Structure 1
């Protein structure tokens, strides 16, 4: 399971399992990556539930 994050200066991909981890980064600063990772961790359950509803098990 993973998520893609897009912003005006770049994008990144984060794995969600077995833990939130940066997979790829194209243009985001280290600060932006940390901020996004924190947001993903804070909203992990919501993201995981939405992913499951959209893609199934």
Structure 2
């Protein structure tokens, strides 16, 4: 489970083995045993939410948009994609 970065107690990560074939590019975010998942393409949008409130989800969506290049770069580096 590669951790991409942490921000205000939130852990941004992806799982090393998510399906065969692998799911499209996305990021998981976890804090206090609550998790959400955001798809990164064609635009950042929520895939699922396991308990964050609407305000937190808006903030997380904005942060994923701001750090989109960092997240996609970590994905490509880990999975050996160009």
Shorter chain as normaliser: what TM range?
A: over 0.9
**Bigger Rg over Cα:** 2
Structure 2 residue 50 is the aligned partner of structure 1 residue 26: yes
- Residue 17 of structure 1 corresponds to which residue in structure 2? 41
Kindly tell me the number of residue pairs found equivalent between the two proteins: 57
> Could you say which residue in structure 2 is the equivalent of 1:50?
74
TM-score (norm 1): 0.92
Ranked by relative contact order (alpha carbons within 8 Å, sequence separation 6 or more), the top structure is 1
Structure 1 ranges of 4+ moved more than 3 A? none
CA deviation digits over 1:5-51, x for unaligned, max 9? Answer: 00115110000011100000001000110010000000111111111
CA RMSD of superposed structures (Å): 1.0
Any unmatched runs of 5+ in structure 2?
1-24
Higher helix proportion, which one? 1
